[in-house]
A = this chain, B = another copy of it.
Amino acid sequence: MQEPGSSECSSIVRPANEAAARDLRRVPIHPDHWYPLAWSSEVKRGHTHGVRFAGEPIVLVRTASGTVFALEDRCAHRQIPLRDGVVDGEAIRCCYHGWTYDCTGRCVNIPYLGRERLPNGVRAYPCRELEGLVFVFPGNPARAETTPLPSLGSIANHAYKTRRYARDVACHYSFMHENLMDMNHQFLHRRVMGQMSARSLGRRHGENWVEVDYTLDREGGSRPLGETVALGQSAPGSPTDNDVMTVRTDYPYQTLQIRNPKSALMLDLWAVYVPLDREQRTTRAFGLVSVKRPRMRVLLDVAWPVLIWFTERIFKEDRWAVEREQQAHDEQGADWNHEVFPVINELRDLLRRCGAQASRRVIPIETPVAPGD
């Protein structure tokens, strides 16, 4: 599953001066990856659905034939959002003056202008559907073909039951990665999880990834029901201390996997954090939590509401924390964090290294001005 622990581990030192000077919370996510921007079910046939990636408005259009395409969400004429337009067969028609675009963004009709004088149109984004998610490639379209869609964990495996969620969080995506990877924050969940403490077993990394293993020890209180649902029905009284949790950031995606002492994968979380606004201070977290079904498969279905409640509570507490971190950063104007946990410092270097170079703006496609009528 993972690349072997590498010997250059010790060569990862504190960020060099240049890198250290760069505030991680201002590093834009790299656009040359596939990001989910909506659930397939949100984009209904013959309708549009407006979304955002890092401030860029994007319209998803499902045509009469059921195909989804993605365009810059503005009419080339007067910048009205195309999401308010009318789907016309396999094209989208702006609601204001009726300019019409096909799936490549080409302007194919202006009702009051001859066809020989049509302007260039708007930008199109590569777009694919996978497992109920609409993925868009917001970066250089030439790289979309050679960049694979991500593997979505155990979602396609019938031995698992999957919960899907999407939540907006008012923070930079990097706080989300750090929150999940630093399991020393169990104190935050003390009311839901009881008194747990994480013990780091070791970490590994490569060019585009970093991962860490933990065991979680119960220091007091009893095991919550939600955890039992998620991790399986151990015999009463048996220790779960030998379950191993691995958290991995494989840029830009993140996974959390829990294996039991027999190395069976009990819980498999896949997540990605999509920046919504241009400043990348708001993020939509998409997550897929797959839980191994027990032999009596119906047991998991019965217990499912407990797991939902449990994950909602945990997510709510984490959201509170990362939003406070973002607030502090906004107020302090810089990153005052004093991180002492080595894997988190490695993760921060990774996110800096793999991030985009600078905030980009969409430039309008140049359209030659039509001569007078």
- Residues of A whose CB lies within 8 Å of any CB of B are 14, 55, 74, 76-81, 84, 93, 95-98, 110-113, 117, 119, 182, 184-185, 187-188, 197-198, 200, 321, 324-325, 328-329, 331-332, 336-342, 345, 364, 367, 369-370, 372-373
Residues of chain B lying within 8 A (CB to CB) of residue A367: 338
- The answer to whether A80 and B340 touch across the interface, beta carbons within 8 angstroms, is no
Which residue of B79, B184, B187, B328 is within 8 Å of A337 (Cβ)? B79
- The answer to whether B78 and A340 touch across the interface, beta carbons within 8 angstroms, is no
Which residue of B55, B74, B110, B341 is within 8 Å of A340 (Cβ)? B110
Give A334's nearest chain B residue, CB to CB. B364
- The answer to whether A111 and B79 touch across the interface, beta carbons within 8 angstroms, is no
- The answer to whether B325 and A79 touch across the interface, beta carbons within 8 angstroms, is yes
- The answer to whether A97 and B184 touch across the interface, beta carbons within 8 angstroms, is yes
Q: A119-B338, A198-B112 are in contact. Are A97 and B324 (CB under 8 A)?
A: no
Q: List 19 A-B contacts (CB under 8 A).
A: A74-B328, A77-B338, A77-B339, A77-B340, A78-B325, A78-B339, A80-B321, A80-B324, A80-B328, A96-B188, A97-B188, A111-B184, A111-B197, A112-B184, A113-B340, A117-B340, A336-B364, A340-B369, A345-B372
Residue in A14, A79, A113, A331 with the greatest tally of chain B CB atoms within 10 Å: A79
Residues of chain B lying within 8 A (CB to CB) of residue A184: 97-98, 111-112
How far, in angstroms, from A325 to B94 measured CA to CA in the complex? 13
Give A373's nearest chain B residue, CB to CB. B342
Residues of chain B lying within 8 A (CB to CB) of residue A188: 95-97
Which residue of B76, B77, B93, B187 is within 8 Å of A96 (Cβ)? B187
- The answer to whether B372 and A342 touch across the interface, beta carbons within 8 angstroms, is yes
Residue in A113, A331, A338 with the greatest tally of chain B CB atoms within 10 Å: A338
A67 to chain B, nearest CB (A): 24
- The answer to whether A325 and B119 touch across the interface, beta carbons within 8 angstroms, is no
Which residue of B79, B93, B340 is within 8 Å of A336 (Cβ)? B79
- The answer to whether B112 and A341 touch across the interface, beta carbons within 8 angstroms, is yes
Residues of chain B lying within 8 A (CB to CB) of residue A182: 97
Give A81's nearest chain B residue, CB to CB. B324
- Contacts A77-B337, A95-B187, A338-B369 known; list 5 others, CB within 8 Å: A77-B340, A79-B329, A79-B336, A97-B188, A112-B197
How far, in angstroms, from A342 to B74 measured CA to CA in the complex? 22
Residues of chain B lying within 8 A (CB to CB) of residue A339: 77-78
Residues of chain B lying within 8 A (CB to CB) of residue A338: 76-77, 119, 364, 367, 369
A63 to chain B, nearest CB (A): 20
Which residue of B79, B113, B119, B369 is within 8 Å of A328 (Cβ)? B79
- The answer to whether A340 and B119 touch across the interface, beta carbons within 8 angstroms, is yes
A212 to chain B, nearest CB (A): 11
How far, in angstroms, from A306 to B104 measured CA to CA in the complex? 43
How far, in angstroms, from A340 to B331 measured CA to CA in the complex? 40
Give A335's nearest chain B residue, CB to CB. B79
- The answer to whether A14 and B369 touch across the interface, beta carbons within 8 angstroms, is yes
